[in-house]
Amino acid sequence: MTWNLIEFSAEEIIKLSIDIEKSGRTFYNTLAAKVTDTKSKEALQFLANEEDQHIKDFEALGAYLAKEFEANENYSGEYKDYLDSLIESHIFNQAEIEDKINKITDAKSALEMALRFEKDSIMIFQSFLNVVSGKAQEVIGKLINEEIGHIKKLSQLKKQL
């Protein structure tokens, strides 16, 4: 899967965000099917469900942004190159999720990959805060806080290994 921004439009921002969340959902569901301990399985299923909710949140935000989006930039293209570099380096933009999951050898490596996914996603979503305003900032801010919660949950699981 390759992500990129062509026009730097509201539609692209929403599509990219939804694609990121779908990748996370697939990742967590696939891992949940692979793990054997109940605690990890439940946590991964919870995270997959959270990604589902984030997809719905971004879809709702898309309807709003389609009418209200005006890139909050000092000059045209100010953030595009920066966002492109973040997108290019996102863990799930570098190879297919299934290929990455197949390389996981233990629970620790699975949780480390999940942590990287969440951190990479937060960096992209935080960058979106610089180019949107109003309700869009509120929604994206809420989603960032939920992703931070995912990092806490994953870190706690990792410590218990």
Q: What are the boundaries of each domain within the chain?
A: 10-159
Q: What is the pLDDT of residues 33-44, one digit of tens each?
A: 888 878 888 888
- Rounded to two decimals, the pTM is 0.81
For 10-159, the fitting CATH number among 2.30.40.10, 3.40.50.300, 1.20.1260.10, 3.40.50.2300 is 1.20.1260.10
18 and 63 in contact (C-beta within 8 Å)? no
Residues of the chain with pLDDT under 70: 1-8, 69-73, 93-96
How many C-beta atoms surround the C-beta of residue 75 within 10 A?
Answer: 6
